[in-house]
Chains A and B, each alone.
Chain A
Amino acid sequence: MNSSALSITKLNHTFGGELQVLSNINLSLDKGDYSILLGLNGAGKTTLFSLITRLYNNQTGSIEIFSQNIKTSPSKALANIGVVFQQPTVDLDLTVEQNLQYHASLHGMKKSLALENAMSELKRQNMEDIIKKKVRELSGGQRRRVEIVRALMHNPKLLLLDEPTVGVDIESRKLIVKHVKSLCKEKKLAVLWATHLIDEVDQEGKLIVLHQGKILANDVVKNILKKTKSKNVSDAFDYFTKN
């Protein structure tokens, strides 16, 4: 048994039996790890997230979340995950509170506890005044942060973020990055953040380079820079993907 927050071994995935989108993926995340999954559009990031969250079943290999296999114990595994998808998934016609309550019920949480958790998360982000507002009235950045609040409501131990800053202005992006990093430190939350934006890579954190369905690098940023003799992450990324 493995006690990692996330452990993926020998994972392959094809669509329709022909198009191979992921090939021999092996990676693991520990509690408190902040890992960036960096890849171009079409690299396989969203498919990987869909497999981790069991939107698709893995065809080969295994995915374990805190030792719970997503295929054989999906309920226990999913209970540990908070996820922010690339596409916004909040209901625009409902208020923030109604959206959060709906999510809480999908995790079997009582309304009072759900509201308490939601308020404390909203307060951390100075957003408590939006709780009664309809999501439609919020800015893009606020909507994304509501999605992060929602993903954290049931106190998950692993947070998955699939390009959470797409369509968000620079200021909001900074706030989101800062907030997630602080969660990582304070709550010992394991974070896997998928992005194609190099400036979102944390110099202190871990970097996983995914290219054409294969993991080309998986190490702390400093080691990757040293190994590739690169000055920055952009050069290191080019080193892996263009060689």
Chain B
Amino acid sequence: MHIFQYYLCFKGIVFRESLRFFHQRERFFSALVRPLVWLAIFAVGFRSFLGVSRPLGQPENWPYPVSLVPYELYITAGLIAMIQLFNGMQSSLSMVYDREMGSMRTLLVSPFPRSFLLVSKLVAGVSVSILQVFAFLLIALFWEIEPPLIGYLTVIPALFLSGMMLGALGMFLSSAIKQLENFAGVMNFVIFPMFFASSALYPLWKIRESSEILFYFCSYNPFTHAVELIRFSLYGQLNETSLVFVFIFLAIFLMLAIYGYDPSRGFITKKKI
């Protein structure tokens, strides 16, 4: 297999995932409705008595140009990461479904290395999630969520990295899950703790005021770093600590996913493909 054939294979996988995505319009809309409900109801409801102000002595934790931001502006980064988290989990759910239905076999018997096939599938899923994020940002303009124009560009690499990290986590989970029915339970143990124990809805320094233990838990939550990477990049800035964390978690989850789908070692060998 030479490089051009790798390109053809990658293109084919991305094309197929895009087709499936456009055939499942409900999936697109439901992925948008979820963060919009949070933005239009939850955040607006809290706006009257919640604003988030710059933390004293911690300028590195504040990307916004003003000292006090309305709550809906604060949680936008968290909601964007939420879209990616759900997309990653949705992709892994469809991998479990594909495995149960048998169509996963078509992918796995390709002569290309399995790691390449899995990464291509991840990139395809992330591309779809980036489209969803931009659709969300477009609608969010109605709530005056207006990051600087450059932010729409600088957020793309952050979205790619955080999407890959969350997608790799979903892929690893899909390799470890035996049946489709088990997926919902696992999601409850992954999505909710990841989302609520993060900086998506409240800043970490506020959490620290209430619970030191929870603060440390949130500080090492990969989702927190996805949120912060997106938050800063949306204002044309780089949160270096979060970038490092996202890279590390991406590497770990990707290795686990590749291990999970390895025919000689992974969890996939222990169940029906």
Q: Min CB distance, B124 to chain A, in Å?
A: 12
Q: Is A74 an interface residue (CB 8 A)?
A: yes
Cβ A54 vs Cβ B109 within 8 A: yes
Cβ B19 vs Cβ A98 within 8 A: yes
Chain B residues with Cβ below 8 Å from A78 are: 109-111
Q: A75-B113, A89-B106, A105-B12 are in contact. Are A57 and B20 (CB under 8 A)?
A: no
Number of chain A residues whose Cβ lies closer than 8 Å to a Cβ of chain B: 37
Complex partner residue of B105 from A71, A76, A77, A85, CB under 8 angstroms: A85
Residue of A nearest to B3 (CB): A108
Cβ A106 vs Cβ B270 within 8 A: no
Q: Min CB distance, A96 to chain B, in Å?
A: 13
Cβ A108 vs Cβ B109 within 8 A: no
Cβ B105 vs Cβ A108 within 8 A: no
Q: Min CB distance, A63 to chain B, in Å?
A: 12
Q: A54-B263, A57-B269, A108-B9 are in contact. Are A102 and B15 (CB under 8 A)?
A: yes
Chain A residues with Cβ below 8 Å from B1 are: 75, 79, 108
Cβ A108 vs Cβ B112 within 8 A: yes
Cβ B111 vs Cβ A107 within 8 A: yes
Residue of A nearest to B22 (CB): A93
Chain B residues with Cβ below 8 Å from A177 are: none
Q: Is A205 an interface residue (CB 8 A)?
A: no
Within 8 A of A (CB), among B1-55: 1, 4-6, 8-9, 11-13, 15-16, 19-20, 23
Alpha-carbon distance A89/B12, docked complex (angstroms):
17
Q: Is A195 an interface residue (CB 8 A)?
A: no
Residue of B nearest to A86 (CB): B102
Q: Max chain B CB contacts within 10 Å: which of A90, A102, A108?
A: A108
Cβ A56 vs Cβ B111 within 8 A: no
Q: Is A94 an interface residue (CB 8 A)?
A: yes
Q: Min CB distance, B113 to chain A, in Å?
A: 7
Cβ B8 vs Cβ A109 within 8 A: yes
Q: Is B264 an interface residue (CB 8 A)?
A: yes
Residue of B nearest to A87 (CB): B102
Q: Is B101 an interface residue (CB 8 A)?
A: yes
Residue of B nearest to A55 (CB): B273
Known interface pairs A106-B110, A110-B8; 7 further A-B residue pairs with C-beta atoms within 8 A, sorted by A's residue number: A54-B109, A57-B269, A75-B111, A83-B105, A89-B106, A98-B19, A106-B13
Instruction: List residues of B whose CB falls within 8 A of some A CB.
Output: 1, 4-6, 8-9, 11-13, 15-16, 19-20, 23, 101-103, 105-113, 117, 263-264, 269-270, 273
Q: Which 8 A-B pairs have the closest CB atoms?
A: A105-B12, A108-B5, A87-B102, A57-B264, A106-B110, A78-B111, A79-B111, A57-B263
